[in-house]
Amino acid sequence: MADLVAVTGAEGFIGSHLVEALVAAGHRVRAMVLYNSMGSWGWLEELDADVLDQVDVVLGDVRDAASARELVEGAAAVYHLAALIAIPYSYRAPRSYVDTNVIGTLNVLDAVRACDTPRLVHTSTSETYGTARTVPISEQHPLQAQSPYAASKTAADKLVESYHLSFGVPAVTLRPFNTFGPRQSARAVIPTVISQIAAGARQIKLGALDPSRDFLYVADTAAAFVTVGTAPASAVVGELFNAGTGDEVTIGQVTADIARLMDADVDITEDSQRIRPKDSEVQRLVADAAKLAEHTGWRPAHTRDDGLRRTIDWFRRPENLARYKPGIYHQ
């Protein structure tokens, strides 16, 4: 019988890809979807029927301790991805980020502790590092929260660390750099650019073009999650791992690359709505993922151009593009 694993945030961009990867690896998945009155399963609804046959969808909320406990009970591993992630909205509603990202993580930790769950995989973010002081960024890089979002994720990471050290919770933290791919929200730069071009726009509205990022294709991010969730405990429990390519590119350059791959001649317009406060902008992120490779053997399987082509192909399908509003700024 397949191991039962639980996933929070399963309806989201990375979460839905992780569910697919876990099923492909032979697991049965109990997938928590944020409760909503329409009964929507988010991106899980787009998965193939044979995948969904191995998924038990549960409507709940990590902010509710009982929901977290019901999800975790009996699971061999818990993958905790539920979070508010949009940086601009964290300027407007910081309390909501504390409620979901910090209190929600606390509830999952308490559930894992109470149920003696064998493995918790917690999701961090490269935004906790802030602008790189040294490159590439290793796990020893200082933390600097340059947005309320980053602060909430830093707090969550430290809660996980404390529960491991204080109570022996068998946790591992994965810190992906900038993941991209099909199903990503248009609040992120790559789907923003692709969806605008796919919809016929040739004047592309963006924020700052100089910051650089390490873009990781979503299939490689999902593979990293599965890897740290299934690796021997001695190799990963109690550890923090970066997941990235080590390949740095500016926002301006990746926009030009997308236009090239889509055979589009575009003009880029700076949109003041999309500019972060000066001291909040993270100028440079590039991963040192050597530790993850050394402990587990994980390495990215896709180049950035390969990932971009796959993402462009997905957005070009009319039924997928119809889900987006390319002319609107998404926080």
Report, as an integer, the average pLDDT of 188-202: 92
> Sign of torsion, CA 254 258 260 266?
negative
306: which residues sit within 8 A by CB, 6+ positions away? 217
Rounded to whole angstroms, how far apart are CA atoms 235 and 157? Answer: 19
pLDDT for res 144: 96
pLDDT for res 128: 98
pLDDT for res 273: 65
Q: How confident is the model at residue 282 (pLDDT cuts 50, 70, 90)?
A: confident
Is the per-residue pLDDT at 286 higher than 90? yes
pLDDT for res 275: 67
The first and second tokens of residue 300, run together, are 């990215």
pLDDT for res 49: 98
Report, as an integer, the average pLDDT of 279-303: 94
Report, as an integer, the average pLDDT of 201-227: 91
Q: What is the pLDDT of residues 216-262, one digit of tens each?
A: 999 999 999 999 999 999 999 999 999 999 999 999 899 999 999 99
Tokens 């399987």 — which residue?
301
Using alpha carbons, select from 327, 270, 280 the residue that is nearest to residue 87: 280
CATH fold of 4-179+216-243 reads Rossmann fold (3.40.50)
Greater model confidence, 283 or 234: 234
**pTM for the whole thing?**
0.95
Q: How confident is the model at residue 202 (pLDDT cuts 50, 70, 90)?
A: confident
Is the per-residue pLDDT at 1 higher than 80? no
Q: How confident is the model at residue 169 (pLDDT cuts 50, 70, 90)?
A: very high
pLDDT for res 109: 98
Q: How confident is the model at residue 329 (pLDDT cuts 50, 70, 90)?
A: low
CA 284 to chain centre: 18
**What's the mean pLDDT when you consider all of the chain?**
94
Provide the Cα torsion 261, 264, 270, 271; round to 10°: -100
Q: Which string of b and e fits 163-195 if b means at least 16 CB within 10 Å?
A: bbeeeebbbbbbbbbbbbbbbbebbbbbbbbbb
Contact 115, 72 (CB under 8 A): yes
Q: What share of the chain is helix, strand, coil (3-state, %, to 5)?
A: 45, 15, 40
Rounded to whole angstroms, how far apart are CA atoms 134 and 317? Answer: 41
Q: How confident is the model at residue 277 (pLDDT cuts 50, 70, 90)?
A: confident
Percentage of the residues of the chain whose pLDDT score is greater than 70: 96
pLDDT for res 276: 67
User: Of the given ranges (75-79, 282-286, 292-296), which has the lowest mean pLDDT?
Assistant: 282-286
pLDDT for res 206: 79
